[in-house]
C-alpha cells in the first residue's frame, strides 16, 4: 500500500561529489529552476544521486533519457530504489516508424509505415493512470515518447 511518500531503499550513502550535486539540484528546484541537468561519467552514481534528490524533495518526478535502452536501465534501477512507489516506464509505443518520404529524382512517394507495440502502449496507459491517482510517481521516459501525445483538447 502506498503511503504517498518516496521511500528510498539503498544500502549506500551519498559520497564523493554526490552530496554537493544533491544539494545543488535541490537548491535549484527550491529556487524555481525549470530545467536542470545532472552530468557525470559512466558509473559515477548519477542514478543514485537522482534517487536521493527525489527522496529528499518528495515530489513527482520526470526523468528523461535520450533513448529506449537507457530509459529501460534507469527504470529498472529506480524500481529497485523505490519499490513501494509508482515508478513508470514511458517510451514511444512504436516498434518502428518510417516517416513518409518523397524522392524527387525518381518522382517517388513512400508512405509512412509503423508498427505499434501493444505492451508499450499498456505501459504508457499505466503511467497516465498513476499520474491521475497518485502523488508518489516517478516517470522514466525517453525523449521520443513526448511526440504524438495528442492534442491538448483531447486530454483536457
pLDDT digits (tens, 9 = 90+) for 22-47: 999 999 999 999 888 899 998 999 99
Angstrom distance (rounded) from CA 42 to CA 57: 25
Query: Would you say residue 9 lies in a domain?
Result: no
> Would you say 144 and 65 are in contact if contact means Cβ atoms under 8 Å apart?
no
Residue 10 in any domain: the answer is no
Asked whether the predicted pLDDT for residue 152 surpasses 60, the reply is no
Consecutive H or E run containing 81: helix 68-81
pLDDT value at residue 91: 87
Q: Say if 3 falls within a structural domain.
A: no
* φ and ψ of 135, to 5 deg: -105, -20
Q: Is residue 8 part of a domain?
A: no
Domain-located, residue 2? no
**CA distances, 136 to each of 28, 47, 85 (Å):** 21, 18, 6
Which range, of 9-13, 120-124, 143-147, averages the lowest pLDDT? 143-147
> Residue 137 sits in which domain range?
18-155
pTM reported for the whole predicted model: 0.80
Write the CATH number for 138.
3.40.50.300
Domain total for the chain? 1
Grid cell 525523449 — which residue? 143
Of 30, 75, 74, give the one whose Cα is nearest residue 56.
Answer: 30
Q: What is the pLDDT of residues 95-124, one digit of tens each?
A: 777 889 999 999 999 988 877 778 888 888
Amino acid at each position: 500500500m502506498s503511503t504517498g511518500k518516496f521511500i528510498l531503499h539503498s544500502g549506500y550513502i551519498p559520497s564523493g561529489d554526490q552530496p554537493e550535486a544533491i544539494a545543488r539540484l535541490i537548491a535549484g528546484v527550491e529556487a524555481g529552476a525549470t530545467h536542470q541537468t545532472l552530468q557525470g561519467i559512466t558509473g559515477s552514481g548519477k542514478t543514485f544521486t537522482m534517487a536521493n534528490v527525489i527522496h529528499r524533495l518528495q515530489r513527482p518526478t520526470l526523468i528523461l533519457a535520450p533513448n529506449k535502452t537507457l530509459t529501460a536501465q534507469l527504470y529498472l534501477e529506480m524500481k529497485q530504489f523505490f519499490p513501494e512507489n509508482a515508478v513508470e516506464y514511458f517510451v514511444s509505443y512504436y516498434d518502428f516508424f518510417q516517416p513518409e518520404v518523397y524522392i524527387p529524382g525518381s518522382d517517388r512517394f513512400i508512405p509512412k509505415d509503423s508498427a505499434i507495440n501493444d505492451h508499450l502502449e499498456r505501459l504508457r496507459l499505466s503511467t497516465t493512470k498513476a499520474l491521475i491517482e497518485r502523488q508518489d510517481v516517478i516517470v522514466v521516459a525517453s525523449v521520443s515518447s513526448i511526440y504524438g501525445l495528442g492534442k491538448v483538447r483531447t486530454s483536457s
